[in-house]
């Protein structure tokens, strides 16, 4: 028995080729369409709640994208083991077929939220990989501060 994997025999290495799939990512225009009600979907922010004193210096403008639900990626991990610990974080999202767009600062934490949503059975999950780093560069892109 292999102690770290629980497998009874070694597994032969396979050939994996990573290929980007455009359907996993959205652009700023798609997020803006959700904000403006022109595209049905839910925005999920994967960052901890903002701290205007800190965030305004880091990105130049504090806040989150209007209408977004906060599900910090750090809340998905067990503090003891660092493994995924999914319980009720996404309970606000009812329809597993509806478009869900995750975002964060630059797309990294948003990927963990997207992965967790996929594991939970959500079928239309995409990542806004430009996230707040791109969003705040447009002075007309709306932001809200607070809950």
pTM of the model: 0.81
Superfamily of 23-135 according to CATH: Rhodanese-like domain (3.40.250.10)
Task: List the single range of 17-21, 23-27, 60-64, 86-90 with lowest mean pLDDT.
Answer: 17-21
More confident residue, 13 or 46: 46
Sheet of 125-127, strands arranged across? 69-70, 42-45, 100-103, 125-127
């Amino acid at each position: 028995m292999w102690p770290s994997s629980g497998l009874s025999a070694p597994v032969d290495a396979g050939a994996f080729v990573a290929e980007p799939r455009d359907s996993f990512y959205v652009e700023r225009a798609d997020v803006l369409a959700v904000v403006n009600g022109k595209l049905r979907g839910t925005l999920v922010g994967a960052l901890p709640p903002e701290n205007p004193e800190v965030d305004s210096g880091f990105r130049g403008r504090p806040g989150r994208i209007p209408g977004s639900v906060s599900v910090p990626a750090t809340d998905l991990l067990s503090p003891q083991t660092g493994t995924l610990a999914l319980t009720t974080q996404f309970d606000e999202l009812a329809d597993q077929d509806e478009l869900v767009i995750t975002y964060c600062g630059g797309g990294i934490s948003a990927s963990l939220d997207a992965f967790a949503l996929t594991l939970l059975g959500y079928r239309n999950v995409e990542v806004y990989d430009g996230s707040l780093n791109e969003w705040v560069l447009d002075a007309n892109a709306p932001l809200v501060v607070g809950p």
